[in-house]
Amino acid sequence: MNNTITLMVHSQNFDVAIEDEDFIIFLAVTMQQDFKNINVSRLELLNKYVSKVYELYQMENELDKIMKYFPQS
């Protein structure tokens, strides 16, 4: 099933198609938490994107540290 989620950036709607129904629910909830206004500014969107990428970077670094304790086969 193909679902879409709409994000309004700088007064323009953008529809994003998402196939995973569980992810679309997660994304909708996360977007409501991250963006308090219906209409998101470009700067706010960019700041949130950079913040999320930094979170991912930190998680990958932590996983790398943990993986060092497991022998490679």
Residue 72 included in any domain = no
Residue 45 included in any domain = yes
Residue 47 included in any domain = yes
Is 1's pLDDT higher than 90? no
Give residue-wise pLDDT tens across range 12-56.
Answer: 999 999 999 999 999 999 999 998 888 999 999 999 999 999 999
How many domains, in total, are found in the chain? Answer: 1
Residue 40 included in any domain = yes
Residue 43 included in any domain = yes
Residues 6+ away with beta carbon under 8 Å from 45: 7, 9, 35
The boundaries of the domain holding residue 7 are 3-67
Q: Identify the residue with better confidence: 73 or 20.
A: 20
